[in-house]
């Protein structure tokens, strides 16, 4: 179904042009720019989170000739996640804290405007895993920035002037923001970070025109906060979809622990215009010590499907009930059409931190496939397809052994088989290209008391490469989501913490923590090209076309959870929630820096047989 979403975008844009003013309609400006692959108008390139481009001037036969076209210093250190946006002749660049935004003229790389917010530096100590920001959003002629201090800002795309701003949290109690905003139809959606500070997660939708709050949907708490209809909001139960029932969240928490329950929402969101449903995942419950929160802790670790106009949940699916390992469920949920067991279904695919890849019917919420996407995953033996619950191996269960016991050799580590670094979908083969971690841990929970604005973790971790494997800490894999199988796997020295990009030129791009941007074949993972950037890559590869020439770009700037030791100058083995010791060898390969690298083919190097698909 290679062109399904392109056709859907066009039809929705047409509807937007003709619908009555009383309807919540699609933003024709964003729709137009997303439909043209010369742009990179959204963080994932489209609503469906495919991270796929129809551009093919750079292809498998000539990608080996790629060279640096231009570079730009961001002027900021620490982790550079996400990617710029490209709209017409302008590139919009963002940075980690203090979250500067630059509009760059593609003609000569000069700045059209700069937005440099003055944020209180006290927000930095309450940012869990580096001062990252996952990118900007575009719509209605505006650039949207979610600042670390929980201020959502709408900037005029032509001038950089503030059109409106809205506050969605309180850093004094540990609430911060690292997520990219998402523009769907007439709304801007944003989440909240702070799962390690006793924060209660939610998604907030704002009206794109004026910044007024449209709805707030909490992850945990009473039905009225969750925007649940107890009889109509469905979940997978006993092999079928069934209503969640009254107080489905409150019943799974002891006392008022739900008020500190986590379930934060700092990941990637998807949208299906046909169903008018938005999809996203929630994070870990608070604390990391499972003994302090008996029960399933719903609806942390959950995929939500919500009506975009009202926020009301149509269905929910919890991946890791009563999480004991910090396996946040915030990773992306790409939307695809799949044939599963002979039946064609509108599907979503989710590569969870817990090491299982899930395929669900995105319309109904029905569980279709759930399999390990790293063979070393051991905390659970499998997913019971009737209940949808993981079958936990008690040898790797901190909740079983109890507080103050160090549980060893749990795979994956808390940062998961994959964290937020997004996969890409190859529309030609139907396979997913997935950057993964190959890391295990020891985990010792302990009693912790809540103090507003202070860490509320309650566990000590160490991390190390998966034992009995290739010795590295990462793999880049191709995944068959219809059958739940790894098609090929390419080992890497460190975790692949960069978002992937697949193109119609039969090339997949991704970056590595030691600083390589690589191009591989989607057929077998064969390496076609690589370039060593000055700092490790945790950004997401993107592509665009300007003046008839295709470009590929990525941020270089080590940091994030895996690189927190380097980014924040931490040295204790257990610091950075265990990452410092696990990734200490990174210092042999890279150093801090913040820059953008853009690549292109030399003049005349484009294959004469290649064409650029523009529709």
- 542 touches 40 (CB < 8 A): yes
Region of 193 on the Ramachandran plot (φ > 0 left; ψ -120 to 50 alpha; else beta): beta
Structure tokens at 564: 């927190």
Structure tokens at 264: 């934060």
Edge-to-edge strand order for the sheet containing 142-146? 137-139, 142-146, 151-156, 162-167
- 491 touches 512 (CB < 8 A): no
Q: Can you tell me which residue has the tokens 């939708």?
A: 205
Task: Write the CB contacts of 425 (distance below 8 Å, at least 6 apart in sequence).
Answer: 48, 49, 50, 51, 52, 334, 336, 431, 432, 433, 502
Structure tokens at 42: 């959204």
Rounded to 10 deg, the angle between the 4-18 and 28-35 helix axes is 150
How far is the CA of 218 from the CAs of 78, 201, 222, 257, 263, in angstroms? 31, 6, 9, 15, 8
Q: Can you tell me which residue has the tokens 């929705």?
A: 12
| In 269-406, beta strands by DSSP E | 270-272, 277-281, 302-307, 313-318, 335-340, 343-351, 356-361, 367-372, 380-383, 390-392
Q: Dihedral (C-alpha) 19, 208, 5, 16: value to the nearest 10 degrees?
A: 10
How far is the CA of 55 from the CAs of 36, 200, 335, in angstroms? 10, 41, 20
CA distance 498 to 294: 35
CA distance 299 to 303: 9
CA atoms within 13 A on the CB side of 355: 26
Rg (CA), the chain: 22
CA geometry: angle at 439 spanning 415 and 560, to 5°? 40
CA distance 284 to 533: 33
**Would the CA dihedral through 584, 586, 587, 592 be positive or negative?**
negative
- 475 touches 492 (CB < 8 A): yes
Structure tokens at 538: 């945790």
**Which residues have a catalytic role annotated?**
326
CA distance 410 to 399: 13
- 418 touches 351 (CB < 8 A): yes
Pairing of strands 313-318, 234-237: parallel
Q: DSSP H helical segments within 448-576, as ranges?
A: 564-568
From 215, 219, 212, select the one nearest 204 (Cα to Cα). Answer: 215
Tally of residues, the chain? 615
Q: Dihedral (C-alpha) 162, 166, 170, 175: value to the nearest 10 degrees?
A: -90
CA distance 121 to 129: 16
């Amino acid at each position: 179904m290679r062109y399904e979403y392109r056709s859907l975008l066009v039809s929705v844009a047409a509807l937007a042009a003709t619908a009555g003013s009383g309807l919540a309609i699609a933003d024709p400006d964003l729709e137009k720019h997303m439909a043209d692959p010369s742009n990179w108008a959204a963080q994932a390139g489209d609503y469906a989170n495919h991270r796929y481009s129809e551009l093919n001037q750079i292809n498998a036969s000539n990608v080996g000739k790629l060279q640096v076209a231009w570079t730009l210093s961001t002027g900021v250190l620490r982790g550079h996640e996400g990617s710029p946006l490209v709209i017409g002749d302008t590139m919009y660049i963002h940075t980690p804290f203090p979250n500067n935004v630059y509009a760059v003229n593609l003609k000569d790389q000069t700045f059209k405007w700069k937005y440099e917010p003055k944020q209180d530096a006290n927000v930095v100590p309450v940012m869990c895993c580096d001062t990252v920001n996952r990118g900007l959003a575009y719509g209605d002629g505006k650039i949207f920035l979610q600042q670390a201090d929980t201020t959502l800002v709408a900037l005029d795309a032509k001038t950089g002037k503030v059109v409106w701003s809205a506050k969605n949290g309180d850093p004094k109690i540990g609430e911060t923001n690292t997520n990219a905003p998402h523009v769907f139809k007439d709304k801007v959606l944003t989440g909240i970070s702070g799962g390690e500070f006793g924060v209660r997660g939610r998604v907030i939708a704002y009206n794109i025109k004026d910044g007024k709050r449209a709805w707030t949907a909490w992850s945990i708490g009473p039905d009225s906060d969750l925007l649940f209809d107890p009889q109509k909001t469905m979940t997978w139960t006993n092999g079928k979809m069934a209503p969640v029932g009254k107080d489905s969240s409150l019943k799974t928490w002891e006392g008022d622990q739900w008020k500190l329950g986590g379930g934060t929402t700092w990941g990637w969101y998807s949208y299906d215009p046909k169903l008018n449903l938005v999809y996203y995942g929630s994070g870990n419950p608070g604390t990391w010590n499972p003994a302090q929160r008996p029960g399933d802790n719903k609806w942390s670790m959950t995929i939500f499907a919500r009506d975009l106009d009202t926020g009301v949940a149509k269905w929910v699916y919890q991946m890791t009930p009563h999480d004991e390992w910090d396996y946040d469920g915030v990773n992306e949920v790409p939307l695809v059409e799949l044939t599963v067991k002979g039946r064609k279904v509108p599907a979503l695919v989710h590569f969870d931190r817990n090491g299982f890849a899930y395929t669900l019917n995105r319309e109904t919420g029905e569980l279709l496939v759930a399999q390990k996407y790293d063979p070393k995953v051991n905390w659970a033996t499998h997913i019971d397809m009737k209940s949808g619950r993981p079958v936990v191996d008690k040898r790797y269960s901190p909740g079983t052994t109890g507080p103050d016991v160090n549980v060893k050799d749990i795979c994956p580590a808390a940062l998961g088989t994959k964290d937020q670094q997004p996969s890409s979908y190859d529309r030609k083969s139907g396979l997913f290209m997935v950057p993964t971690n190959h890391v295990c841990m020891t985990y010792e929970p302990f009693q912790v008391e809540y103090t507003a604005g202070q860490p509320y973790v309650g566990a000590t971790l160490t991390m190390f490469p998966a034992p009995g494997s290739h010795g590295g800490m990462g793999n880049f894999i191709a995944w068959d989501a219809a059958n739940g199988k790894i098609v090929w796997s390419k080992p890497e020295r460190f975790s692949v913490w960069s978002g992937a990009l697949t193109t119609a030129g039969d090339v997949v791009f991704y970056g590595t923590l030691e600083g390589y941007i690589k191009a591989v074949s989607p057929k077998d993972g064969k390496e076609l090209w690589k370039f060593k950037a000055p700092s490790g890559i945790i950004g997401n590869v993107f592509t665009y076309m300007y003046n008839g020439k295709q470009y590929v770009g990525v941020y270089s700037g080590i940091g994030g959870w895996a690189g927190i030791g380097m980014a924040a100058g931490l040295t204790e083995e257990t610091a950075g929630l265990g990452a410092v010791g696990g990734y200490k060898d990174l210092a042999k390969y890279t150093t801090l820096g913040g820059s953008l690298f853009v690549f292109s083919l030399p003049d005349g190097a484009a294959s004469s047989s290649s064409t650029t698909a523009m529709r």
